[in-house]
Amino acid sequence: PVGGRWLRDERITRRTGGILQYESLEPCLAELLDRSALRYSNRTAAVDRVGRVLTFRELWASAARVAGGLLDQGVGPADRVVVSYPNGFRWLSGFLGVVLAGAVPVLPAPSCSAAEIEWIEAHSGAVLTLDGDLPDGVPFLDGGASPDELALLYYVRAEAGALRGVELTNTNVLSTIEAVGHAMDLGAEGTRTVITAPLSTAVGCSVQLLPTLAFGGTVVVGGSRVVRVPWRPLRAAFPTSRCVRGWGVAETGGIGLLLPSEHRHRHPRSVGVPFGGIEVALLGPDAEKGIGELLCRGPSVARRYWQDPVATAEAFTEDGWFRTGDQVCIDGEGFVDPIAVRVL
Summarize pLDDT for 6-38 with one digit per residue, the tens. Answer: 788 889 998 767 899 999 899 999 999 999 999
The rounded distance, in Å, linking the Cα atoms of 235 and 312 is 40
Is the predicted pLDDT of residue 217 greater than 60, yes or no? yes
pLDDT value at residue 278: 95
pLDDT value at residue 341: 58
Mean pLDDT of 59-71: 98
pLDDT value at residue 147: 96
Residue type, 180: V
Under the banding of pLDDT at 50, 70 and 90, the label for residue 234 is confident
pLDDT value at residue 118: 98
Mean pLDDT of 235-250: 84
Rg (CA), the chain: 19
pLDDT value at residue 237: 81
The rounded distance, in Å, linking the Cα atoms of 285 and 215 is 44
pLDDT in tens, 279-296: 999 999 999 999 999 999
pLDDT value at residue 227: 61
Of residues 253 and 186, which shows the higher confidence score?
A: 253
Strand bridging mode 12-14 / 44-48: unpaired
Of residues 239 and 69, which shows the higher confidence score?
A: 69
pLDDT value at residue 344: 47
pLDDT in tens, 133-188: 999 999 999 977 999 999 999 999 998 889 999 999 999 999 999 999 999 888 76
Mean pLDDT of 176-205: 91
Beta carbons within 8 Å of 196's beta carbon, 6+ residues apart: 203, 204, 208, 226
Mean pLDDT of 181-202: 89
Q: What is the mean pLDDT of the chain?
A: 92
pLDDT in tens, 48-60: 989 999 999 999 9
pTM of the model: 0.94
Helices (H), 194-337: 202, 210-214, 231-237, 309-315
Q: Sort 247 into a burial class: Cβ within 10 Å, 0-12 / 13-18 / 19+.
A: buried
- Helix H or strand E segment including 107: strand 104-107
